[in-house]
A = this chain, B = another copy of it.
Amino acid sequence: MYRLYEFASSGNCYKLRLAMSLLGLSCERIEIDILRGASRTESFLRINPNGRIPVLELGDGRRLPESNAALWYLARGSYLEPSDPFEQAQVLQWMFFEQYSHEPFIATSRYWIAILGAEETYRAQLEEKRPKGYAALDVMEQHLAQRDFFVGNRVSAADIALYAYTHVAHEGGFDLGPYAGIQSWFRRIESLNGYIAITD
């Protein structure tokens, strides 16, 4: 039985809930209210000294921070991990792309607009992030033009990592209308056995 320290509306936390649901794994969910500073308390900093959610706790008490490292661990040996080492590296390639070129722009915009409800306060920063978020979506759309999934033409942890914030990018003010390839890919993820929504 896993335990997940999470803030439920965070896409980074949803990655792990979605992967566990697809893989038939169950977890106890512990909500950490980051809006009230609960990830920066002394007691939470003992769980993750970097003060971030999610943290995945194994049955024996060992803990993994960093959503994509925990996702990689859950996916290991399942149908979400390719068997070929180069394809395994490509899964990580897209996970690092997600954390460096995608999440800081798309997730942060959504956080300011949809979670904090503070679009006006962050107007200047949102404008700075907008083109960088669209650049990430463009890279994804181009990659999906001739592929059904990100790596090896089969669903993998790379798709889960990227789906989490991309499918709610509109909540961050991004217009997904022109991204037909991305939208078809959404449908393929959403038809997987065990799929759950971010609000579930």
Listed stretches A31-39, A83-91, A114-122, A178-186; interface member: A83-91
Q: For chain A, what secondary structure do more than half of its interface residues adopt (helix, strand, loop), or is it mixed?
A: helix
New contact pairs (9) apart from A70-B89, A99-B99, CB-CB < 8 Å: A64-B90, A66-B100, A69-B95, A70-B93, A72-B89, A76-B85, A96-B96, A100-B103, A104-B104
Q: How far is the CB of A75 from chain B (nearest CB, A)?
A: 10
A170 in the interface (beta carbon within 8 A): no
Per assembly, the copies of the chain total 2
Residue of B58, B86, B99 near A100 (CB, 8 A) is B99
What are the residues of chain B within 8 A of A104 when measuring CB–CB?
Answer: 100, 104
A: which residues have CB within 8 A of B? Answer: 49-50, 52, 58, 62, 64-70, 72-73, 76, 85-86, 89-90, 92-93, 95-97, 99-101, 103-104, 139, 142-143
* Residues of chain B contacted by A95 (CB below 8 angstroms): 69, 96
Interface pair A68/B96, CB less than 8 Å apart: yes
**Whole-angstrom CA separation of A49 from B147 in the bound complex:** 15
A43 to chain B, nearest CB (A): 16
A68 neighbours in B (Cβ, 8 Å): 92, 96
Chain B residues lying within 8 Å of A58, measured Cβ to Cβ, are 86
Complex-state Cα separation, A104 to B96, whole angstroms:
13
- Known A-B contacts A50-B101, A100-B100; the reply to A69 vs B92 at CB < 8 A is yes
A96 in contact with B76 (CB, 8 Å):
no
| B100 and A72 contacting across the interface, CB-CB below 8 Å | no
Q: Establish whether residues A65 and B85, one from each chain, have CB atoms under 8 Å apart when the complex forms.
A: no
Q: Is the CB of B73 within 8 A of A96?
A: no
A28 to B103, alpha carbons, bound, how many Å? Answer: 33
Please measure, in the bound complex, the distance between the C-alpha atom of A52 and the C-alpha atom of B93, giving whole angstroms.
Answer: 12
Closest CB in chain B relative to A114 CB, distance in Å: 21
